[in-house]
Amino acid sequence: MHTEQLRIQTGSREQVHDITQGCRAFLDRVKAGDGLLHVWVPHATAGLAVIETGSGSDTDLLAALRELLPADDRWRHRHGSPGHGRDHLLPALLPPHASIPVLGGRLTLGTWQSICLVDTNVDNPVRTVRLSLING
pLDDT digits (tens, 9 = 90+) for 29-47: 999 999 999 999 999 999 9
C-alpha 84/C-alpha 124 separation (Å) is 11
The residues that bridge with 115 in the sheet, in sequence order, are 50
Q: How far is CA 119 from CA 111, 114, 131, in A?
A: 24, 15, 17
Q: Classify the phi-psi angles of 11: left when phi > 0, otherwise alpha if psi is within -120 to 50, otherwise beta.
A: left
Q: Which residues contact 60 (CB under 8 A, 6 or more apart)?
A: none
So where are the chain's domains?
2-135
pLDDT of amino acid 82? 81
Is 83's pLDDT higher than 90? no
Half-sphere exposure of 113 (CA within 13 A, CB side): 11
Half-sphere exposure of 84 (CA within 13 A, CB side): 12
Strands 15-18 and 114-119, how do they pair? antiparallel
Q: Which pLDDT belongs to residue 81?
A: 82
- The whole-angstrom separation of Cα 81 and Cα 122 is 8
Q: CATH number of 2-135: 1.20.200.10, 3.40.50.300, 2.60.120.460, 1.10.10.10?
A: 2.60.120.460
